[in-house]
């Protein structure tokens, strides 16, 4: 399975991605919601369980500051305009919390 917007996304630099999606330093607003369970499953399948930004497997272990850390899932509200045109309602992506 492939996501058209993901391919486009891949060609952007990390900086661009972060700016567009607000991955880093997104001051979490209190109104943040998460997608429905069925949608989460679908998104994870589409992303093959990988973080959209860094391609690391969600749930896998990394080492940070010398300590093992498990990557937790973080649901980002992401609105790429090309993607939005096809899926007006579904604009969630799975990202790690790091
Ligand atoms: Zn990540």
- For residues 3 and 25, state if they share a domain: yes
Question: Could you tell me if 45 and 21 lie in one domain?
Answer: no
66 CA distance to ligand 1 middle (Å)? 18
* Same-domain check for residues 46 and 81: yes
46 and 87 fall within a common domain? yes
Residues 44 and 17 in one domain: no
**How many angstroms is it from 98 CA to the middle of ligand 1?**
6
Compute the mean pLDDT over every residue in the chain, rounded to the nearest whole number: 77
The CA 31 to ligand 1 mean position distance, Å, reads 22
What's the domain count of the chain?
A: 2
Mapping DSSP onto H, E and C, the string for the chain reads CCCHHHHHHHCCCHHHHHHHHCCCCCCCCCCCCCCCHHHHHHHHHHCCCECCCCCCECCCEEEECCEEEECCEEEEECCCHHHHCCCCCCCEEEEECC
Question: What pLDDT shows up at residue 29?
Answer: 44
pLDDT of 44 > 90? The answer is yes
Range of the domain at 3: 1-31
Write down the pTM of the prediction. 0.56
């Amino acid at each position: 399975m492939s996501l058209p917007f993901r391919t486009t996304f891949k060609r952007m630099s990390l900086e661009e991605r972060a700016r567009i999606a607000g991955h880093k330093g997104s001051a979490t607003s209190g109104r943040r919601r998460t997608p429905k369970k069925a949608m989460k499953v679908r998104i994870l399948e589409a992303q093959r369980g990988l973080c959209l930004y860094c391609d690391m497997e969600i749930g896998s272990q990394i080492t940070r500051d010398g300590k093992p850390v498990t990557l937790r899932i973080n649901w980002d509200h992401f609105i790429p305009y090309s993607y939005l045109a096809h899926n007006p309602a579904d604009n969630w992506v799975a990202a790690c919390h790091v």
